[in-house]
Structure 1
């Protein structure tokens, strides 16, 4: 079974950054990463990846159209067992509170600390096994 991580961000360089950071994992097929450039596209992709193979969603907060905070309760309603971690350039207490209230399990600030992301992925892979 393949397991997936969904990364939601409207910045085009994010995909290349994640692929570079996790190139060994991707080559070894430990997991696959799907990318969505918007909240709307993330909802479509999250619905298309069948249970239980979607193990984690990482989403930017500030995106045009549907923000990550607007997407969050909708994706949690659709996929309640998939943890969502929000990513933002503004890690203030109010943003963190809103994210947690809407169902996020955590909040990472930019620039992204990929050692934290790796720890989260490893935790989810252990739970999925």
Structure 2
């Protein structure tokens, strides 16, 4: 299986990347706190605009507070990870998706 990784440095850039891709996005890892558009706003737009099928979205934050968690889940996040990331846990989650 061949994977293509695309990196965006803002929520706005991520939305542009999604629109410009010539294939289906399978997974999006997004920080909650980003310059410009927040990761939560990016999540909301992804879930509203990409329906067939929507990509898996994992939110990442340095702040594991209940408010961010509840908001992310309500907006449709498939998972919520806190920094520092445990890469062995992330690897297992990625294997389950792919």
2: distance between equivalents of 1:43 and 1:37?
Answer: 11
Aligned mates of 1:66, 1:76 — CA distance in 2:
15
Moved over 3 A (4+): none
SS in 2 for 1:32: coil
SS at match of 1:72: helix
Match of 1:113 among 65, 68, 86: 86
Gap regions ≥5 residues in structure 1:
1-28
**Pairwise CA distance, 1:124:** 1.7
Which residue is equivalent to 1:35? Answer: 7
Output the TM-score relative to the length of structure 1.
0.68
Q: 2 CA distance for matches of 1:78 and 1:118? A: 27
Aligned position for 1:84: 57
1:21-68 residue CA offsets vs partner (Å, 9 max, x unmatched): xxxxxxxx642211000000000111222443x110000000111000
* TM-score of the superposed pair, with normalisation by structure 2: 0.88
**Matched pairs, number:** 96
Note the aligned Cα RMSD (angstroms).
1.5
Q: Which runs of 5+ in 2 are unaligned?
A: none
Deviation sequence 1:92-117 (CA, Å, 0-9, x none): 11110000011101110011111222
State the alpha-carbon separation in 1 of the partners of residues 89 and 47 from structure 2: 22
